Structure 1
Amino acid sequence: MQESLLHILWEHQKLPYTGLVLITGEELQIWDPGIHNSNAGPDFLNARIVIAGILWAGHVELHFRSSHWNLHGHSTDPNYQNVILHVVWEDDKPVLGYHGRPMATLQLRDFVSKDTLAAIWDMQSLTSGFRINCQQDHHAVPIIIKEDWWYSLYRERLLHKANELRTWLAVSSNNWERVLFISLLKGFGLHVNGAAFLSLALKLDYSIVKKLGHDQLQLEALFMGMSGLIEAASKSDSYIGELQLAFQYQCTRFTLNRTGILQPVFLRLRPSNFPTIRLSQLSVLIVSQPRLFGKLISTFNRNQLHKLLSVSASSYWETHYTFGNLSKRKPRKVSAVFMDLLIINSLIPVQFTYAHAMGRNIWPQLRSLLESIPPENNHVLGNLSRLGMPPINALQSQALLQKYEHYCAKNHCLDCAIGRYLLKGI
Structure 2
Amino acid sequence: MHEELLHYLWKHRLYNAGNYFTENGERLEIIHPGFPNTDAGPDFFNAKVRIGDTLWAGNVEMHLRASDWIRHKHHRDKAYDNVILHVVGQYDSAVNTSNGSEIPAWVMPIPDHLYRKYMDLSKSSKPIACGDKLQGLDLLTLNSWIERMAIEKLEKKVEQIRLLYESYDGDWDEVFYILLTRNFGFGINAQPFERLARNTPWRIVLKNRDDIRCLEALFLGQAGMLDEAPDQDDYVRHLKYEYKILRAKYGLSSVPAHQWKFLRLRPSNFPSVRLAQLATLFNGKQISLGRLLSAISITEALDLLDICASDYWTNHHRPGLSSRPRQKQLGKQSAELICINTIIPLTFAYGSLRDDEKLKAKALCWLDSFKPERNSIIDRWKALKIEPISALQSQALLYLYQNYCTPKRCLHCRIGHSIIASHETS
Q: TM-score range by the shorter chain?
A: 0.5 to 0.7
Matched, 1:388 2:385: yes
Tell me: CA distance 1:326–1:157, structure 2 relative to 1, closer, same or farther (3 Å): same
Alignment of 1:18-417 (within 5 A): 131-258=127-254, 263-290=259-286, 292-361=288-357, 362-417=359-414
User: Structure 1: where are the runs of 5+ without partners?
Assistant: 1-125
In 2: Cα distance, 1:390 partner to 1:144 partner: 15
Deviation at 1:378, TM superposition (A): 2.3
Question: Contact 2:281/2:287 (CA < 8 Å) preserved in 1?
Answer: no
For residues 76-105 of structure 1, what are the alpha-carbon distances to aligned partners after superposition, in whole Å with 9 as ceiling and x for unaligned? xxxxxxxxxxxxxxxxxxxxxxxxxxxxxx
User: 1:312-340, CA deviations, whole angstroms, 9 ceiling, x for partnerless residues?
Assistant: 11111111222333322221111111111
TM-score between the two structures when normalised by the length of structure 2: 0.67
Paired residues of 1:203 and 1:261 also in contact (CA < 8 A): no
After TM superposition, give the deviation of residue 236 of structure 1 in Å: 1.1
CA contact (8 A) 1:216 1:284 kept: yes
Q: Deviation digits for residues 249-289 of structure 1, max 9, x if unmatched?
A: 11111111126898221112222221011111111011143
Secondary structure of the 1:136 match is helix
Offset from partner CA, 1:204-234 (integer Å, 9 cap, x none): 2221111011111111111111111111110
Q: Secondary structure at the match of 1:191?
A: coil
SS where residue 188 of structure 2 aligns? helix
Q: Distance in 2 between matches of 1:386 and 1:261?
A: 42
Q: Distance in 2 between matches of 1:278 and 1:134?
A: 41
TM-score of the superposed pair, with normalisation by structure 1 = 0.67
Partner of 1:419: 416
User: Shift of the alpha carbon at 1:237?
Assistant: 2.3
In structure 2, the CA distance between the partners of 1:248 and 1:330, relative to structure 1 (3 Å rule), is same
Distance 1:205 1:142, change over 3 A: same
CA contact (8 A) 1:200 1:261 kept: no
CA deviation after TM superposition for structure 1 residue 300, in Å: 4.6
Letter of the aligned partner of 2:377 in structure 1? V
2 CA distance for matches of 1:300 and 1:268?
38
Residue 423 of structure 1, CA deviation: 1.9
Listed one character per residue, the Cα deviations across residues 124-154 of structure 1 (whole Å, up to 9, x for unaligned) are: xx96xx7210121212222221221112111
Q: For residues 170 and 260 of structure 1, what CA distance do their matches in structure 2 show?
A: 27
Q: Aligned partners of 2:223 and 2:365: how far apart in 1?
A: 37
- Report the AA paired with residue 393 of structure 2: Q
Deviations 1:146-184 (A, max 9, x none): 221112111111111111112221222211111111111
- Cα distance in structure 2, aligned partners of 1:137 and 1:354: 39
Q: CA deviation at 1:293?
A: 1.6
Tell me how far apart the structure 1 counterparts of residues 257 and 227 of structure 2 sit (CA, whole Å).
14
In 2, the alpha carbon distance for the partners of 1:322 and 1:290 equals 24
Q: Which amino acid aligns with 2:222?
A: M
Tell me, in whole angstroms, the C-alpha distance in 2 between the residues paired with 1:418 and 1:235: 61
Question: Could you tell me whether the CA contact under 8 Å between 2:199 and 2:252 is conserved in 1?
Answer: no
Shift of 1:413: 0.9
Offset at residue 353 of structure 1 (A): 1.6
**TM-superposed deviation, 1:188:** 0.6
Shift of 1:290: 4.8
CA distance in 1, matches of 2:152, 2:327: 38
Instruction: Give, in whole Å, the separation in 2 of the partners of 1:150 and 1:234.
Output: 52
* Alignment CA distance shift 1:417-1:267 (3 Å): same
Indicate conservation of the 8 Å contact 2:224/2:256, yes or no.
no
Kept in 2: contact 1:281–1:311 (CA 8 A): yes
Q: Find the counterpart in structure 2 of residue 25 from structure 1.
A: none
The Cα of 1:291 is off from its aligned counterpart by 6.1
Amino acid in structure 2 at the alignment position of 1:232:
E
What letter is aligned with 2:354?
Answer: M
The 1:398–1:291 alpha-carbon spacing in structure 2 relative to 1, beyond 3 Å, is closer
* SS in structure 1 at match of 2:317: strand
Structure ID, larger Rg? 2
What letter corresponds to residue 414 of structure 1 in structure 2?
L
Q: How far apart, in 1, do the equivalents of 2:197 and 2:302 lie?
A: 23
Structure 2 equivalent of residue 15 of structure 1:
none
CA RMSD of aligned residues (A): 2.0
8 Å contact from structure 1 (residues 277, 317) kept in 2:
yes
**Post-superposition CA distance 1:8-41 (Å, at most 9, x none):** xxxxxxxxxxxxxxxxxxxxxxxxxxxxxxxxxx
Q: Deviations over 1:392-419 (max 9, x none)?
A: 1110111011101100000011111111
* Partner in structure 1 of residue 31 of structure 2: none
